[in-house]
Chains A and B, each alone.
Chain A
Amino acid sequence: MTQIIDQVRHVCTLGGLQSVLAIERAIPVLHAGPGCGQKLWGAIGLQNGGQGSGYAGGHTVPCTNATERDVVFGATDKLEEVIENTFKVIDADFFAVLTGCTSDIVGDDVGDVVRRFQKQGKPIVWAETGGFKGSNFIGHELVLAAIFGQYLQPAAGKIPGLVNIWAVVPFQDPFWTGVYADLAELLRAVGLTPNVIFGPGGGVTALDRVPAAQFNLLISPWVGLKGVQQLEERFGTPFLHYPVLPIGPTETGKFLRAVAEYADLDRNRVEEFIKEREDHYYHFIERAAEVLLETRFLPRHFTTITDSTYGLALAKFLVSDLGLIPDRLYVVDGIPDHLQEEVGEYFKDLGEGIGAEVLFTPDGGAVQKELRATKFRSRPLILGSAWERTLAKELNGFALSVSMPVSDRLVFDRSYVGYTGGLRLVEDIYSAIMSDFQ
């Protein structure tokens, strides 16, 4: 049966354009149809935590705006002209030419065009990201592969303690800015020097430092694995693949100890930090115990309709630290078939000897249909997207939008990562419950 997609929860490969924009003063140049940019940033940007055009996104992104003539005769000349004028008109430090379906089907030799600019020493790369190649999770990987392969140069030497952080896909995760900043904060606290490529303050300087890192840290069940493998191959940088985005005390402690073990850090310093932050966390949890236990209509069970990263991270926290029970969990990131089994394994141990069954499907409509047919014994807590607002009402449940599209929330620099992030999540979930009947 055809894998249809009803209620999009990710976009296509070309959505990787937002990963370029996540690097400060970097700009994508699209060789694509006129509407691709608008549709994609509309979905994973503006309608996802209110992430607007920023420095040079949105309608500022240069694009060849493919026409019928381009599709018939090819349009490499036009692309060359637009790139040339991009250098004149736009003030940016780094450029990535990304193709859409039109160019990839017609077979424009984009590499040939871009190589001419690379030979002139321009900081520019290209990637074939025609939307039919898959999701923007794949698009993000293609963009990284292009940058790693075509732009980065070997470093003079490794800098001890320098760690590149690779985690959630920028923009697709509306909390990405906070996620990277909070992960960096955790690493700094235990004595490492984080190198954050995405978000404010990174830019080309951070990008240029990538090959000098002591190791790459990948925090994701599957997205980005190819990237750190490529960096190991090209620059000999080892990597730590840690599948769980740490939320709350249990997972954050495990994460920090794993990093400490891998990087051979000062254990006392790590344990002191964990103790101090756990005290802070439990100060508030103790204070909120009445809310967590005595509020009317409390949910006992939860489900998630998110990407793999958040499905795993949210479930681990809610099971390990908040005493909730997972129902069937839904992973909607269009994860490639061959990775499903391995990622599904991660969900078998969420803490307390509790695991969850996972259904992988990009079809949100099918998920909602299944939930409509599910019998709930208490009001269900649904951590999904804005698509679930209507469903939660029908099911008399509680909804919190945490996964694209988060069109009902404005998100700046907060995240659910770490100790503070765990508190933020408890605040958000229980605020949704408390405000529901008031």
Chain B
Amino acid sequence: MAIIDIKRNEVPIRENRLGAVTGYVGTIGDLHERATNCGVGNRERCFTQASACSSGCCQNQLGSISDALVVNHAPVGCAADSVAGNVNFKSGARLRGLDYTNVQIISTNLEERDTVFGATDKLRDTILQAYERYKPKAIFVTASCVSGIIGEDIQSVLNELKEELDIPLVPAFCEGFKTKVWASGFDAAFHAVLHGIVAPPRSDVKSNKVNFVNFRGSARKEIINTFSKLGVEPVFLLQHSTVEEIRRISEARATVSICGTLGSYLGNGLEQHYGVPYVNTEQPHGISGYKNWLRSLGTLLEAEDAVEAHIAAEEARIAPELEEIRARLKGKTAVIGMGPSFGHNYTRVLRELGVEVLWAATWHFDQNYDHGEVPESTKRLAEADESLQVSVGDQQNYEIVNLLGKLKPDIYVTRHGGSSVWATKMGIASYMITDEYAAFGFNGILNFGNVIIDKLTNRSLARKLAERIKLPYSDWWIAQDSFSLLNAEGF
């Protein structure tokens, strides 16, 4: 296991740090076995479609901190995702009843001459203008393909400016070409936080906080309520948190995450450096995941009795409705297409609902998390059904469309935009999980089950759309094996 180094200003990408792969096809048993032992070799593709890059994940995480600002050292197009980031940010504000504000992500607007002569002056000037305009509590500078290739010395600019501006100035290295795993951008953001914001715990402070790494936090009220039974208070990270709140996360009693992909780096970093324990179980989606997760947290907090009482009461409360849902979903089939943590967790959740998962495709796969172990959700899934068919691809829609055509599931359950639409265009019901708490715990599994029932009950949109549109693929491709353009390992 590699120890997280928060003194360096840059975090290694997931391919190098976690053995992450973006090309694989096989079974969950094989994937788990090889990840545990000899390792999975990545398989490249000889045809690829536009995927996503780490900079989006990075700057939208950092940009969602209420009183921080992001300077993107890049041509204007790299800040294009601040538009979607802003929509996301406002939806989070709506969920929490906060006033609407815009995200603050400012481009240095690199142009042709900058690629020749460099643009550190431009970066310096942008930071000063940005500070003058918004007076943020911290400024993060996100790198780009251009700044990386022309070798911009971002750190030196920040060092110089430290004299002038009395706020943290932190680089975040998320050049798009460096990794195929866009989630590396989460690590870049959390590394920036660990490297430049988080302070060592104060010895005289006894905290009752638990860090909760998530996205928009729709289940905030439920979590506050449940955690109060354990005597702790959640701090939701990073969206809508403040720089001061983030400074203090080293004092928390534990860290948990709604997504293993998202939380691994910050959670393990805080554990390794400040002794804040990170809950490494599967994520709290569905019943067994939630129970294992809450029990693990309860043990850390020495609140086992409260946890057991909560679980017993909740389990009894939802039992009748859960049975009804299971009866209605009996015999239904699903295909999954999500990030690896959500994908392997939601496969388990669908199985809990009695839905047969025919295939679980994930957008990448981390062979281990930052604590050095194979993700718990993968391990549990392999134990439950080693023959489950899985694949890994950086959202290559041509593979997914081909696969859906062959498997013809009742529903395609997905996360990450631009995938569910293809199932719908094929007449297959689909559900994109936009809310990270869609199947959170006991309430979540009932909601999720009901959503699936609704989606299967009226498929008119999918059926009628599919009758009228043509897919953008050739007949030749549709007739091929779904993974025939995946090269052998090592090529």
Does B bind A? yes
By a CB distance below 8 angstroms, the chain A residues around B77 are 11-15, 36, 39-40, 131, 136
Query: What is the distance, in angstroms, from A28's C-beta to the closest C-beta of chain B?
Result: 9
On whether A60 and B49 interact (CB within 8 A), knowing A35-B56, A68-B178, A90-B474, the answer reads yes
Q: Which of B192-223 contact A (CB under 8 A)?
A: none
Q: Which of A3-32 contact B (CB under 8 A)?
A: 3-8, 10-15, 27, 30, 32
Q: Which residue of B lies closest to A408 (CB)?
A: B87
Contact assessment for A33 and B53 in the assembled complex, using a CB-CB cutoff below 8 Å: yes
By a CB distance below 8 angstroms, the chain B residues around A37 are 50
Q: Which residue of A lies closest to B422 (CB)?
A: A60
Q: Is B109 an interface residue (CB 8 A)?
A: yes
- What is the bound-complex CA distance between A90 and B475, given in angstroms? 9
Q: Which residue of B lies closest to A334 (CB)?
A: B76
Q: Which of B349-385 contact A (CB under 8 A)?
A: none
On whether A132 and B114 interact (CB within 8 A), knowing A11-B77, A91-B472, the answer reads yes
Contact assessment for B49 and A40 in the assembled complex, using a CB-CB cutoff below 8 Å: no
In-complex Cβ contact of B48 among A42, A46, A82, A366 (8 A): A82
Contact assessment for A4 and B47 in the assembled complex, using a CB-CB cutoff below 8 Å: no
- What is the bound-complex CA distance between A390 and B50, given in angstroms? 33
Q: How large is the interface on B (under 10, 10 to 19, 20 to 34, 35 or more residues)?
A: 35 or more
Contact assessment for B417 and A46 in the assembled complex, using a CB-CB cutoff below 8 Å: yes
By a CB distance below 8 angstroms, the chain B residues around A61 are 49-50
By a CB distance below 8 angstroms, the chain B residues around A44 are 80
- What is the bound-complex CA distance between A105 and B110, given in angstroms? 13
Contact assessment for B146 and A91 in the assembled complex, using a CB-CB cutoff below 8 Å: no
1/0 per residue, CB under 8 A from A, across B115-149: the answer is 10000011001100110010000000000111001
Query: What is the distance, in angstroms, from B75's C-beta to the closest C-beta of chain A?
Result: 4
Q: Is A34 an interface residue (CB 8 A)?
A: yes
Q: Is A47 an interface residue (CB 8 A)?
A: yes
Contact assessment for A70 and B125 in the assembled complex, using a CB-CB cutoff below 8 Å: no
On whether A66 and B145 interact (CB within 8 A), knowing A34-B52, A58-B418, the answer reads yes
Contact assessment for A2 and B47 in the assembled complex, using a CB-CB cutoff below 8 Å: no
Q: Is B190 an interface residue (CB 8 A)?
A: no
Contact assessment for A8 and B110 in the assembled complex, using a CB-CB cutoff below 8 Å: no
- What is the bound-complex CA distance between A366 and B398, given in angstroms? 43
By a CB distance below 8 angstroms, the chain A residues around B470 are 55, 91
By a CB distance below 8 angstroms, the chain B residues around A33 are 53, 145, 176-177
- What is the bound-complex CA distance between A369 and B102, given in angstroms? 13
Query: What is the distance, in angstroms, from A57's C-beta to the closest C-beta of chain B?
Result: 9
By a CB distance below 8 angstroms, the chain B residues around A30 are 50
- What is the bound-complex CA distance between A413 and B86, given in angstroms? 26
Contact assessment for B130 and A35 in the assembled complex, using a CB-CB cutoff below 8 Å: no
Q: Is B112 an interface residue (CB 8 A)?
A: yes
Query: What is the distance, in angstroms, from B392's C-beta to the closest C-beta of chain A?
Result: 15
- What is the bound-complex CA distance between A366 and B129, given in angstroms? 10
Contact assessment for A62 and B125 in the assembled complex, using a CB-CB cutoff below 8 Å: no
On whether A89 and B177 interact (CB within 8 A), knowing A8-B82, A59-B51, the answer reads no
Q: Is A415 an interface residue (CB 8 A)?
A: no
On whether A5 and B79 interact (CB within 8 A), knowing A35-B52, A59-B397, the answer reads yes
- What is the bound-complex CA distance between A83 and B472, given in angstroms? 15
Contact assessment for B80 and A66 in the assembled complex, using a CB-CB cutoff below 8 Å: no
Q: Is A100 an interface residue (CB 8 A)?
A: yes
Contact assessment for B125 and A89 in the assembled complex, using a CB-CB cutoff below 8 Å: no
On whether A6 and B76 interact (CB within 8 A), knowing A63-B51, A66-B176, A92-B472, the answer reads no
Q: Is A65 an interface residue (CB 8 A)?
A: yes
1/0 per residue, CB under 8 A from A, across B6-38: the answer is 000000000000000000000000000000000
**Would you give 30 A-B contacts (Cβ < 8 Å), ordered by A?**
A3-B109, A4-B126, A4-B129, A6-B107, A8-B82, A8-B107, A11-B80, A12-B75, A30-B50, A33-B145, A35-B182, A42-B417, A43-B84, A55-B469, A58-B397, A59-B49, A60-B49, A62-B49, A63-B51, A65-B50, A67-B178, A88-B476, A90-B472, A101-B115, A105-B146, A131-B74, A131-B75, A132-B110, A387-B86, A407-B84
Closest A-B pairs by Cβ, 3 of them: A35-B53, A12-B77, A37-B50
Question: Taking beta carbons and an 8 Å cutoff, which residues of A are in contact with B?
Answer: 1-8, 10-15, 27, 30, 32-40, 42-44, 46-48, 52-53, 55-56, 58-68, 70-71, 81-82, 85-86, 88-92, 100-102, 105-106, 130-136, 334, 362, 365-366, 369, 386-387, 389-390, 393, 405, 407
Given contacts A38-B50, A132-B112, A387-B102, 19 further A-B contacts (CB under 8 A): A15-B77, A35-B182, A38-B56, A42-B417, A53-B421, A60-B398, A61-B50, A62-B47, A62-B48, A67-B178, A89-B473, A89-B476, A90-B472, A91-B470, A91-B471, A101-B75, A131-B77, A390-B102, A407-B86
